[in-house]
Structures are given as structure tokens and as C-alpha cells.
């Protein structure tokens, strides 16, 4: 499972792979809930769950309850970007509860810790510098 942490102050995102034992902190939670960042490697930070996607790339939606996949008639938001005014389309999306099928977990920082995220999640060799 990949954890993506968005920093609203700088506009940067930080990615890290979660170990299997740390995935249990996220499983069963819903979009919009807050987490303590200590067990996830972000000591002192408080994170809010904002979404994610499963192993097939289907997005999670906060307004679709449960852990299942389903087709919804969408007019905007995660999973559909309309090109025409008033356009709607049925799209396959995932519910708002995190399961072991979710491969990417998106979060944002709501309370900052003492150490900068740049130091907690340094760039690995081979990654592009921006």
C-alpha cells in the first residue's frame, strides 16, 4: 500500500510504501477521518484521509458508502471529468471505506509536527528533483 501525504502549505506531496503491519492503522477507516501520523512515519503530524484508488485504478468516492465497487451516475468529482455542460455518465467507483484492495491512500496534513516532511520522507536515488 502506498501512502501519499499532501502538504497544503507548500503544495508538495510525499510518497512512501507502507509495511503490511502498518496497513492495519488504515483498514476499516473512512474518507474524512483523521489519523495520527506517528505509526505511519510522520511523527507529530495529524493526517486526514482524502481518498485513494484500488489495484485496478478505480477511484474511491466519499459519497458512496461501503467497501464495494459499484456503478454510479456521475456529473463531477472523483472518477469523472465532464467535457460538456450537463454531461453525466455511469462510472465504476469504490466505496469510502479502506480495505486491503486499496493500493493508494491519499491524505493531507491538518496539524503539523516539529520535523519537516522533507526530512521525514527524503527523495530516493533515481527520483526527479523538481
For 43-76, how does the pLDDT look when each residue is reduced to its tens digit (9 = 90+)? 899 999 999 999 999 999 999 999 999 999 999 9
Domain count, the chain: 1
pLDDT at 7 over 80: yes
Specify which residues 14 forms β-bridges with: 5
pLDDT, residue 123, reads 80
124 or 27: which carries more pLDDT confidence? 27
pLDDT at 83 over 90: yes
pLDDT at 128 over 70: no
- Structural domain containing residue 93: 2-116
Task: Establish if 99 belongs to a structural domain.
Answer: yes
Q: Pairing between strand 13-17 and 2-6? A: antiparallel
pLDDT, residue 49, reads 96
Looking at every residue in the chain, the average pLDDT score rounds to: 91
Q: Are 43 and 115 in contact (CB under 8 A)?
A: yes
Q: For 110, list phi and psi in degrees, rounded to 5.
A: -110, -30
Amino acid at each position: 500500500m502506498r501512502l501519499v501525504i499532501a502538504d497544503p502549505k507548500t503544495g508538495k506531496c510525499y510518497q512512501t510504501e507502507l509495511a503490511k503491519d502498518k496497513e492495519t492503522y488504515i483498514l476499516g477507516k473512512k474518507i474524512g477521518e483523521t489519523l495520527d501520523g506517528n505509526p505511519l512515519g510522520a511523527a507529530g503530524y495529524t493526517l486526514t484521509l482524502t481518498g485513494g484508488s484500488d489495484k485496478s485504478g478505480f477511484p474511491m468516492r466519499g459519497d458512496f458508502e461501503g467497501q464495494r465497487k459499484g456503478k454510479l451516475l456521475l456529473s463531477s468529482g472523483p472518477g469523472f471529468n465532464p467535457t460538456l455542460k450537463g454531461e453525466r455518465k455511469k462510472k465504476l467507483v469504490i466505496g469510502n471505506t479502506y480495505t486491503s484492495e486499496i493500493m493508494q491512500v491519499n491524505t493531507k496534513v491538518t496539524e503539523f509536527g516539529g520535523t519537516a516532511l522533507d526530512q521525514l520522507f527524503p527523495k530516493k536515488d533515481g527520483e526527479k528533483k523538481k
